[in-house]
Structure 1
Amino acid sequence: MEEATLDNPQTTAKPAPFGTVFADTMTVTRYVDGVWSEVESIPVAPLSIHPGAHVLHYASTCFEGLKAFRMPDGDVRIFRLDRHLARLQQSAGLVCLPAPPTDVVEQMVRQTVAESRNILPTPPGALYLRPTLIGTETNIGAAGAASTEAMFYVLASPVGDYFSGGGRPLSILIEDQQMRSAPGFGQAKTGGNYASALRHVIRGRNEQGVDQVLFCPNGDVQETGASNFFLVNDRQLLTKPLDSSFLHGVTRDSVVTLASHLGYEVIERDFTVDDIKDWIKTGEAMLSGTAAVLAGVGKFVHDGREYVVNDGKIGPNTQRLREALVGIQTGTDEDVFGWLS
C-alpha cells in the first residue's frame, strides 16, 4: 500500500514517521518594537534568522503540540484548543518571551488548520499542530536579558501513531537519581527540558533497549522524557499531583477527567518507585501525551532488574481509557466535556 504523504494524505496505510511531513504553508507573526505584526500565511521553508539570534544562544523558545481531527461528517475539529492556548501563555512567561494575544494565537491555529484540510488524514490519523515561539533579537551579549524581539509561527503535520510499532507495550527505564528538568521549570513546554532528558533516554535505549525513561529523583515518580505517567487498575487511577517539577499535560488532564467520568477513583498524590513495583503486581502502567495519546507499559527496568507489567501486554484499563479518549477526539463518541471546537 502507498505511504501517506502530502500527495496522498487520506490513505489508510501507515503515515510517514511522526512529524516528518508538513503542510505547504504556515502562519507567522513577528514581535518588533513592542508590537506584533499582522498575521501572514507563508510557504513552509527554512527560516531566515541572524546567527546571533537570542534563541540560538540562550534557548529562548517554547511551543505547543495539539491535534485537529476529521469528524465522521467531514468537519474538522480541534481538541482542547483552549487549554493549549493557556499553557502557551504560561510557558512564554517562564522563558521570558512576549507571546501573541490568545485570540491571535487561536486565529493562527484555526487558519493553519483551514489551509491544511486537504492533507488531514482520516482517523485514527490527525493533523498535528506545532505553535512555536522563538526569541529573535540579535544580541549574543544578552545572556542575562530577555529577547526584545520574537517570532511566532504555527506548523501543521499529518500524523499517525507516535510510537513506532503502534499499539505495542513500551519498556521503561526507571531513573531514580536525575531530574528531567531544572527544579521549578518542568511545567514549561520548552525545548531545553526535552534536551536535558535526551541523554538519559538515548543511554537507556542504547544500553537497556528501552523506549523511554521515567524520571524519579530520590524515588519520587514524576514523568518520562516526553509523557505524563499513570498507574491504573480496575477501580483506581493514580498519578502525581500537579506541581512545577513536570509538564501539566493536556492529555493528562483529559485522562483524569475521563477516568472519573467512567467511575474510576482518581488519586492524585506523590508516590515512589516502590509503589510502582507493588502496584504492577496486579495493575497497569501507562503514559499520556498529545502525540502518544495513551500508551501501555509492558516492562520496567530498574537497577538491572526487569519488572513485567500485565504479562508484558497492554492492559484492559489502558485500552478502555485510550479507546474512550480517541472516541471523543475523532467524533465517534459524544463529546460530553465540550473538548472539541
Structure 2
Amino acid sequence: MVFLSGIQANQLRIYDNPMNNRAIDLFILVDETTSRLTPVQFGQIKITVKNIVTDLQPGSSTPYFGVYFYGSTSSVDTVVPFGSNSATTVSKNVDLKQYTATQLNPSSLSAALDSVNAACHTSCREKISRVTVIFTSSPDLAAEARIRQLEDNFGMTVIIVGIGSGITTSVLQKLASHPTDEYGLPFSSFTELIVSTSLISFLISNVPRVVSVGEQLSLTSTVAGAYYTVQVNTKAFIRTNDTVVTFTTNCIECLVYSSLSKTNPTNANAIATTNPQYFYAPGYTYPVYYFRIPQNTNRFYFSFLGTGMTSVTGIFNVFDMPQMMTF
C-alpha cells in the first residue's frame, strides 16, 4: 500500500481541516459477494467499518452514517439507514449483519448507489462534506455513470477501496473521484486493510466540502496556522482553456494555495499564490486572486492559511477572458 506513505502517524488528525467543522455525511457500501469473500474476510470488513465510524466520532463531532451491503441478497441490505449519528449504534447493527450465501440475481453496486442517491436527496445536510466509500474485491465498471451522477448532483466524493491480489489500480481509478490516485485505494489483503483503517479514516474526514461559484464563505473566526480548505465545483463553468476563477476576500494577510490534483493544498505540496489585485471600497481593501483553469476541470482545490482574524469572508467567481487577451 502506497497511499499517504509520506504522512507520519502523529500527523493523522481526524477532521484536520477546520472548514469541515468536524462533520461529515458518510455512506459506506460493502460488496458481500460470497464467491469472492470468505466468512473470515467478511468479519474483517465488518471490523474495518466499525473502526472507521468510531474514528469519525470524536468528541463534539457530528457525523451522519449510512451502511449498505450489496452483492449477496437480491436487494440492497440497508444495515444502517443514513442519518444515524451514533458510532455505537452503527457498530451494533454491523455486528448483527450475517454472512449470507449469494442468491440468484444478487443486488449490484449500481443498486447500492441508487440507495445512496435516494438517501442523500432527502437527508444530506447543507455545507457538509459528502463521501461514499465502497469496499470491494471486484470493482464494477458498470457503476461508473452512477458515481459521476452522485458527484454532479450532490458534490459527492467517492472513494473506492479494492481488496485482494487481483485488484488493479487502473480499474479503481476509473471509478474513484478526482484525484483518482488519492481516492482509488488498493490493498493486497484484508489484514492490510484492517491495519490501515486509521489512514482511511483520516482521508475520509479531510475530504474538503464542495462550494459553488458565487457561494459566500463566512467564518466567525480563524485559527492562526490552520489551513481552511474547500473544493470548488467548476464543472458548469469551465468550457474553454480561457476561463478564470477568482477569489475575493477581506483577509489581506491570509496566504492562499490552490491545486488541481492535491485535495488539501498547503505549503508542503503547493506554492502560495502571490500578487493579488486589489478591489477598493470605502473603508475596505479586498485582495482578488486569479486562477486560470484548464478546460473540463470539474473540481478546483483551494485553501488559505488562517491568521487568527475574525469575521473572514470570501467568494468565488468565474469569467472568460476576452479573446484579445488569450494566448
Q: Does the TM-score normalized on the shorter chain lie above 0.5?
A: no
TM-score, normalising length: structure 1: 0.29
TM-score, normalising length: structure 2: 0.30
Identify, as 1 or 2, the structure richer in strand.
2
